[in-house]
Amino acid sequence: MSEPAYHPGLEGVIAGETAISTIAGGSGLRYRGYAIEDLAREASFEEVAYLILHGELPAAAALKDFCSRLAAAAPLQGEVLDFMRSVPRDTPIMDFLRTAASALAHFDAEAVDTNSEAQLRKAERLLAQFPTVLAAQRRIQQGKEPINPDPQKSFAANLLWMLRGEEPSPQLERAMDVSLTLYAEHEFNASTFAARVITSTLSDLHSSIAGAIGALKGPLHGGANERVMEVLQEVGTAENAEPWIRQALAEKRRIMGFGHRVYKEGDPRARFLKPLCQELAVETGHEEMENMAEVIERIVVEEKGLPPNLDWPSARLYHYMGLDVTIYTPLFVVSRVTGWAAHVIEQMENNRLIRPRSRYIGPEPRPWTPIAAR
């Protein structure tokens, strides 16, 4: 009898079914059937979040109600803010968001209710609360008072407002909105699969989201966009870009922001975001960095055949917005909680405990040896 096939990292293994998104043949991305390019070009992030959570694009009245629910849930209770102030200021934001996902459960009356409707209500509340939590904790770390969310602003504009304390330009708001849409969902990636595994044990939504954040924290997943910024800062100038990248490739250094496990012909999200990144670079006076990135991208593609993934342009985009690198991956959380929650709900509705097998490579059967004879 032959052994079952072994796929390191579960590469290529179909581990479940989903109606939420698909990486169509490794060349495109669709949310609930809609091409990511169409959604990023035409829809607001609020429409995309509604689509992912509820299954269909909202009509005008449904969208208005959805935005009203998000606005109502966005402010944090005083007890939550008191807790945030008690956390050491040097705590990494990702660590705090992982804790916050769990802590918010204590203030949610439906925390343990796994009914689909209750799950949706909790998902909407978490979607509304995470931008406020992120912005408030960042400002507390800086010794500043948190800024209250503004119910009149869009999701993207409100996020920037609470982080920066100033009105974003239409271009900045648009850039943030698009980045949130592009990060919102991505099939069975590591953090989403972690959330589904936790849910498959019949655990609660908040626990699954906390686990997903723990998976996203890793530099091979969500943390990659922070490493991209480190590369760009190390290179420094467009003039230095070509000698730096050629030396890095000769030394076989791994350049974060390039290549993807599934997208072999290039990440469609990166292709869409690149022109927006170039426009924002001009608006904010960062043409030098954009030129530097263009040189690095060209040479990596030519020499290694590795096209950029979403982390490559998004790191620059956030830098052009004046955002600190420590919140790049937390911004990923603010968006991806949408996809995670949708997967939690889907998993719970047709659940089977996720329990794969392993290939044993340890010693052959051995006889017991008494301690005196060892």
Helix then strand then coil, in percent of the chain rounded to 5, is 60, 0, 35
Phi and psi torsions of 366, nearest 5°: -125, 145
Which of the following is catalytic: 108, 177, 267, 311? 311
Instruction: Answer whether 205's CB lies under 8 Å from 354's CB.
Output: no
Which of the following is catalytic: 186, 206, 260, 286? 260
- Helix or strand holding residue 184 (H, E): none
Helix (H, G, I), strand (E, B) or coil at 220: coil
Is 260 an active-site residue?
yes
Take residue 204 and report the two structure tokens written for it: 């609660």
Instruction: Answer whether 191's CB lies under 8 Å from 300's CB.
Output: no
- Helix or strand holding residue 308 (H, E): none
- Length of the chain measured in residues: 374
Specify the DSSP class assigned to residue 218: S
In whole angstroms, give the CA distance from residue 372 to residue 370. Answer: 5
Q: Give the catalytic positions in this structure.
A: 260, 311
